[in-house]
Amino acid sequence: MPEILDVTPSTERELAIRRRLAAPRASVWRCWTEAALLEPWFCPRPWRVTDVSLDVRPGGASSMIMRGPDGEAFPNEGVYLEVVPQTRLVFTDAFRAGWMIAESPLFVGLIELEDDGEGGTIYTARARHFTDEGKAGHEAMGFHEGWGAVAVQLEDFAATL
């Protein structure tokens, strides 16, 4: 189970988690940037993600479908804004491929990775929301529980690589 570390949101509209993962930073990075490696851990179970396509470069698009246990299907599309290999990944749902503006953008996501000095990774995930309502809705939907569960799944899967 990942060790929970304190994290202070950097803006009023930010939700964030910070964990120490018992998996190498290079493996955690691969899990975020290789489509086949995203599928096993990305959604809190029993949800899952399918149809993953990642073009991990600034301006590159990502797409996937989040699928629920009762047949729910939520397509997710976005664009990468910043990519610093094995260190930082910034993406948003405000745009689609080709810089097409999204109808209902929610947030900019920031994933930050650091070595923990013991072969593991300090993992920080931030969601910076465009509106107060968007942040409140994401939090009420279970941001901390969901992103925390995903961090456990990420740690477990990345440790096997």
Domains of the chain: 3-7+20-158 (3.30.530.20)
Residues 121 and 88: their CA atoms lie apart, in Å, by: 13
User: What pLDDT was estimated at residue 111?
Assistant: 98
HEC-encoded secondary structure of 73-92: EEEEEEEEEEEECCCEEEEE
Q: For residue 51, give the H/E element and its range.
A: strand 48-54
What does the pLDDT profile of the chain (161 residues) look like in tens digits?
788 888 888 889 999 999 999 999 999 999 999 999 999 999 999 999 999 999 999 999 999 999 999 999 999 999 999 999 999 999 999 999 999 999 999 999 999 999 999 999 999 999 999 999 999 999 999 999 999 999 999 999 999 99
pTM of this prediction?
A: 0.94
Report helix, strand or coil for 41.
coil
Long-range CB contacts for residues 67-70, cutoff 8 Å, separation at least 24? 67/43
